[in-house]
Amino acid sequence: MQLLKFLFGIVLVEVITVSLVYISSSSQISSDLIVKLVIPLLFIALIISFWFTSITKYHNTDLVNRMKMEFASEREELKLSAEKAKREIEREAQKEAQRNILKETTKTQAKANFKVGASFAGVLGIGVLFVFAQMVTVGLIALSATGGAIGGYYLRGKRQRRLEIEGEVRNIEIENRKDAKLLKFNKK
């Protein structure tokens, strides 16, 4: 493409040079005639060199602007991919933390359930012992209190599981909303 830009200028210089030489060839070549040819040719060469310089400068500016645009779009793509990777890492870290919390909670609940179960079994045993020992009223009170405590503990456990499930559902809904907002932002 550069050749076509400069070709017209080169041809123009050659035509002007040939014209000047043809016009001046009618007479004898003298030093006076050479000066008359050299001065216009120098001015023409100077003008053509300025012309070529401006064409090259415009081309370089255009090339630099094009490269800036490409780098800007590439930088934007890198920012978006880095943000997406960051969100994915955060999501994975959050899931891992939730798994660890659930695991520890399950261990703690299992230990607590064993201790509570053992204490309830002990109270039941005492209630049965009282019934066999002819202390029926005290035994029945111990048995009914133990049954009530076990029922309350069971209902509290069910309620706590339901609240945990609702919390997980809320977390999933919040993550989905964040993902939808990120997708809308990326499309813009």
For every residue of the chain, which 3-state class applies, written as one string? CHHHHHHHHHHHHHHHHHHHHHHHCCCCCCHHHHHHHHHHHHHHHHHHHHHHHHHHHHHHHHHHHHHHHHHHHHHHHHHHHHHHHHHHHHHHHHHHHHHHHHHHHHHHHHHHHHHHHHHHHHHHHHHHHHHHCCCHHHHHHHHHHHHHHHHHHHHHHHHHHHHHHHHHHHHHHHHHHHHHHHHHHHHC
Tokens standing for 41? 């040719």
What pLDDT is recorded for position 27? 59
What pLDDT is recorded for position 186? 62
What pLDDT is recorded for position 177? 75
What pLDDT is recorded for position 68? 93
Kindly report the pTM of this predicted structure.
0.40
Long-range contacts from 51-54, C-beta under 8 angstroms, 24+ separation: 51/9, 52/6, 52/9
What pLDDT is recorded for position 71? 93
Q: How many CB atoms lie within 10 A of CB 146?
A: 19
Rounded mean pLDDT for each run of 10 residues along the chain, 188 residues in total: 64 74 66 73 77 82 92 91 87 83 80 77 74 69 77 81 80 73 63
What pLDDT is recorded for position 67? 93
Tokens standing for 117? 């179960």
CA 136/CA 70 separation, integer angstroms: 91
CA 97/CA 29 separation, integer angstroms: 97
Tokens standing for 93? 């870290």
Q: Which amino acid, 178?
A: K
